[in-house]
Structure formats: structure tokens, C-alpha cells
Amino acid sequence: MPIDNVDKRILMLLQQNSRITNAALAEAVGLSPPACLKRVKRLRDTGVITREVALLDPKLAGQGITMIVEVEVERDRSDLFQQSIRRIRASREVTQCYQVTGEVDFILIVNVESMEAFQAFTERVLYADPNLRKFRTLISMNRIKFTTEVPL
């Protein structure tokens, strides 16, 4: 589906504030409200907009410690690899997971309330994985930049 400059402006504004009214959005992009609503509906229906969510402050939500975990698996067997992926997906502490190239197989972003909670996570998710070779944890001291916006 082609995305023109008006669609891009709509998407940029919705990424900044998905609660903007259709009237305000239409005015900001220079469309009539019905035309704007039609474009937003098309962007949703075609899967460009996948979902709209509320972003929480992890500290205020009780998950103030962010860990970046590098995970290396033992074998590249598909069944074991898929089992590791299912275990990661099922863990509520893992807020992001990236399969990467290089020395490690996955990068996990893990949010927990305490070091004890992280220890419980490692026992339940990482050490319990028979395909885990090793993992390395980096503790985030300060979040310098965070955005969910896709650059357009």
C-alpha cells in the first residue's frame, strides 16, 4: 500500500498522541474530518497501524529496573530454538526481544521491580532453558532516549 506525505503526517501525529481528536488531526494535516477519518481507517485496516496502546512509566508502574540481556543458545536446532522463543514470549518481564546476528542470538529488554525479581526471572526463564549456552546482563543506569515512534 503506498503511503503519501499526508499519510506520513497523520502517522507522525498519531505516534505522538493517539488520543488526538479526528477534527484536530484533520486540521493539522489539512484535510476535512471525513477524509482524515477515511485515511486513518485505511491505515488501520491495511495493518500500517498495528495497535494503539498506553505507554507507562516503568518506575511508577513498579518496574523500575531495566536489564539488557544478551542470550546465546547452545544449538541452532529449529525445535530447540522455537522452544526458547516460546519461553521468552511467555515471560511478562521481557518487554522486547530481538533475534540478532553476531556473537549472541537474542537481545532481551527485561523490566523488573527488584534484583530479587530478576533472579527469579533468570531461574524461571533462562536457566530453565535446556538450550541456553550463556547470557550476559547489562543493567541500565539511566534511559537517555526512548521512543516508540517509527521514523517516517
pLDDT at position 116 is 97
Beta bridge partner(s), residue 138: 68
Closest-CA residue to 83 (of 26, 44, 16, 129):
129
pLDDT at position 76 is 75
Residue 112 in contact with residue 63, Cβ under 8 Å? yes
Given its phi and psi angles, is residue 75 left (phi above 0), alpha (psi -120 to 50 degrees) or beta? beta
pLDDT at position 59 is 81
Looking at CATH, the fold of the domain delimited by 5-45 is given as Arc Repressor Mutant, subunit A (1.10.10)
> Which secondary structure element, helix H or strand E, spans residue 106, and what is its range?
strand 106-112
pLDDT at position 14 is 97
Indicate the domain borders of the chain. 5-45, 65-139
Would you write out the chain's pLDDT as a tens digit for each of its 152 residues?
789 999 999 999 999 999 999 999 999 999 999 999 999 999 999 999 999 998 888 888 888 899 999 999 987 788 888 999 999 999 999 999 999 999 999 999 999 999 999 999 999 999 999 999 999 999 999 999 988 899 98
Question: In CATH, what class is 65-139?
Answer: alpha beta
Give the three cell numbers for residue 151: 521514523
For residues 69 and 57, give the distance between their C-alpha atoms in angstroms, rounded to a whole number. 21
CA 152 to each of CA 10, 109, 131: distance values in angstroms, whole numbers, following the listed order: 11, 24, 38
Residue 67 in contact with residue 118, Cβ under 8 Å? yes
